[in-house]
């Protein structure tokens, strides 16, 4: 049965996913720094954990803006709304973000207790500290799982020029976060996906009047595929 998606949600989806990816990558980098400092025995402030939870909350809400909420996991029942019903990969990502947010909230409150309240006994302090250690590890495991979910999640948007433009224009950032080369990631989208993604995005930029951005993408494409005549012709025409 065809879903009745509101016109606003249809128009918003690509931009929402772009925002979600940008903020999720930001959260990964932020937590990597937090965990590195925490593991090294350095003090990690409540404010840093609060910042993490704020970013995760914005991701969670952006996803719920365009996807129907799962109300009963046992019966696979979703809310009645003119939104998209998430497929299994999308649902896995939504669940990952939700768990990250709620565990980040617990971690930040535990840190708040350690930072702003005096404990009556050392065992109280040690109990809270042990709980914080546990949640810091849980967050690390969830982010590791999230990185493995992102690649199949991205395949749902391999034809989405707005999402592709984010990936191509932030290629080094994407590579560092996911731990894979961009070319390998694009090849997973199918045969010819590497140069077709660059061409699709460059045409989108050209049609939008962003010639400088288009040329940058085309030159990046030429480095990957020096013999591609279509890319060379576009550079001659618009370069």
Mean pLDDT by 10 residues, the chain (239 residues): 84 97 96 94 92 98 95 86 95 97 97 78 83 96 96 92 95 90 83 78 95 93 86 85
Instruction: At 77, list the tokens.
Output: 């029942």
CA-CA distance, 217 to 169, in Å (whole number)? 7
- Nearest 5°: CA angle at 141, between 13 and 131? 115
- Per-residue pLDDT at 120: 61
Distance of CA 26 to the CA centre of its chain: 8
Q: For residue 203, how many C-alpha atoms fall within 13 Å in the half-sphere facing its CB?
A: 11
Q: For residue 159, what are its two tokens? A: 């034809």
The whole-number pLDDT of residue 69 equals 92
Q: Provide the b/e sequence for 64-83 (b: ≥16 CB within 10 Å).
A: bebbbebeeeeeeebeeeeb
User: What confidence score (pLDDT) does residue 122 get?
Assistant: 73
Q: Which domains, and CATH codes, for the chain?
A: 1-156 (1.20.120), 158-239 (1.25.40)
Global pTM reads: 0.90
Rounded Cα distance, 79 and 208, in Å: 36
pLDDT at 185: 86
End-to-end CA distance of the chain: 47
């Amino acid at each position: 049965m065809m879903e009745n998606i509101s016109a606003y949600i249809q128009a918003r989806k690509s931009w929402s996913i772009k925002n979600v990816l940008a903020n999720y990558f930001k959260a990964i980098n932020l937590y990597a720094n937090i965990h590195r400092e925490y593991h090294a025995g350095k003090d990690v402030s409540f404010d840093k954990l609060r910042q993490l939870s704020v970013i995760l909350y914005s991701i969670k809400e952006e996803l719920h803006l365009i996807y129907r909420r799962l109300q009963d996991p046992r019966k696979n029942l979703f809310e009645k709304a003119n939104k998209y019903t998430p497929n299994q990969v999308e649902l896995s990502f939504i669940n990952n973000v939700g768990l990250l947010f709620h565990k980040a909230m617990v971690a930040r409150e535990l840190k708040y207790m350690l930072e702003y309240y005096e404990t009556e006994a050392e065992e109280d302090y040690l109990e809270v500290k042990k709980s914080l250690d546990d949640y810091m590890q849980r967050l690390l495991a969830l982010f590791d799982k999230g990185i493995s979910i992102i690649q199949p999640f991205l395949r749902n948007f391999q034809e989405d020029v707005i999402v592709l433009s984010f990936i191509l224009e932030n290629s080094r950032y994407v590579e560092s976060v996911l731990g894979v080369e961009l070319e390998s990631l694009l090849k997973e989208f199918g045969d010819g996906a590497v140069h077709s993604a660059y061409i699709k995005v460059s045409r989108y930029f050209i049609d939008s009047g962003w010639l400088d951005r288009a040329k940058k993408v085309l030159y990046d494409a030429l480095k990957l595929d020096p013999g591609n005549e279509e890319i060379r012709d576009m550079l001659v025409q618009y370069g």
